[in-house]
Amino acid sequence: MKIGLIGAGHIGSTLAHLCTAAGDDVVIANSRGPETLHELELDLDGHARAGTVEQAARFGDIVVVAVPFGHYQDLPAAPLDGKTVIDACNYYPQRDGHVADLDDDRVTSSELMQRHLAGAHVVKAFNAMRWDHLREYGHSSGAYLRYGIPVSADDQDAKRQVFDLVEQLGYEPVDAGNLAEGGRKHQPGTQVYTADLWADDLRDRIGVEA
């Protein structure tokens, strides 16, 4: 699978390691340019390459966005048209600035990203687990007991594509619903955010059946 990663912080670099270990081809980008990612490229043993944000967007069959939410409008919409875009961002008003629609719970951050990337298929995932646990917990207990990753999306084909990626990385996808209702179940401040739960426990907490 070809994975584009926009954002090279804790989540982005962790997913780069996990995806390359699983055999995926990866292009990773940040806002400062590919020359600033040389050490990460070395750490990934040449299994991923750094590029510009637009190069990562054009490269991936799936493109993961893991940037501070306040910068989501900087994402290039055109190269992401028709693609599955994983929103791994979280809204923190003290960092991102206050957004009235989010503060008043009129919309979710993923819905705002979907509005900006109108031609893409936004899927919320990889936002609720601590980055160090995300790096360590995959495949930790075999096929019958795995940690869960909540996944929300409006497009069912895109959701299934992300389910496949989650399973490839050693986790169990848990369908949390669409971007509106599901996104509210695993954003900051919820009972599953950074709780890092076994899949069955995660389903119980967000109220879905296996």
pLDDT in tens, 150-194: 999 999 999 999 999 999 999 999 999 999 988 899 999 999 999
- Which CATH number, 3.30.1490.20, 3.20.170.30, 3.30.300.130, 3.40.50.720, labels domain 2-206? 3.40.50.720
Residue 141: per-residue pLDDT: 62
Judge whether 4 and 60 are in contact, CB under 8 Å. yes
Each domain of the chain, given as residue ranges in start order, spans: 2-206
Confidence of residue 4 (pLDDT cuts 50, 70, 90): very high
Strand pairing of 84-87 and 62-65? Answer: parallel
What is the mean predicted confidence (pLDDT) over 13-25? 95
**Cα separation, 153 vs 14, whole angstroms:** 22
Tell me the backbone φ, ψ of residue 192, rounded to 5 degrees. -105, -10
